[in-house]
Amino acid sequence: QVTLKESGPVLVKTTETLTLTCTVSGFSLSNAKMGVSWIRQSPGKALEWLSHISSNDEKSYSTSLKSRLTVSKDTSKSQVVLTMTNMDPADTATYYCARLTRGYGDAFDFWGQGTLVTVSS
């Protein structure tokens, strides 16, 4: 079955760089119909889309965070990696990775459980 699982540090300091890994199973990152996005949710707040990587390695970023984000994938390891530079307490959030399947409304049909990242000064 399809699963996604986020991993990374629980706690980072202000100005540090965050690196998160999404490990997927049950599908291939090279499948032309598949892509993976990163989405975050600050405590008590709404979902915020951050970044997407498609099977052909096309990458996209949130307009407001573009300068701080980098996404990449390692198809052989079934992993998608997100880095976010210059972390701030306002970046404290649960970070999710989610699969998007083209041809199904470009919606996120499977999600990881999320990983809570706290930024402390």
Partner 1 sequence: DIQLTQSPSFVSASVGDRVTITCRASRDVKSWLAWYRQKPGKAPELLIYTTSTLQRGVPSRFSGSGSGTSFTLTISSLQPEDFATYYCQQAYSFPLFTFGLGTKVDVK
115 contacts partner 1 (rule: CB under 8 A): no
DSSP single-letter state for residue 16: P
For residue 81 the two structure tokens come to 């990696």
CB-nearer residue toward partner 1: 71 or 81: 71
Backbone angles phi, psi at 56, to 5 degrees: -90, 15
23 sits near partner 1 (criterion: CB under 8 A):
no
The reply on whether position 95 binds partner 1 by CB under 8 A is: no
- CA–CA separation, 20 and 50 (whole Å): 13
Select the residue interacting with partner 1 from 22, 112, 117, 119 (CB under 8 A).
112
Three-state DSSP state, 2: coil
Binding site for partner 1 (CB under 8 A): 35, 37, 39, 46-49, 52, 54, 58, 60, 62-63, 96, 98, 104-109, 111-114
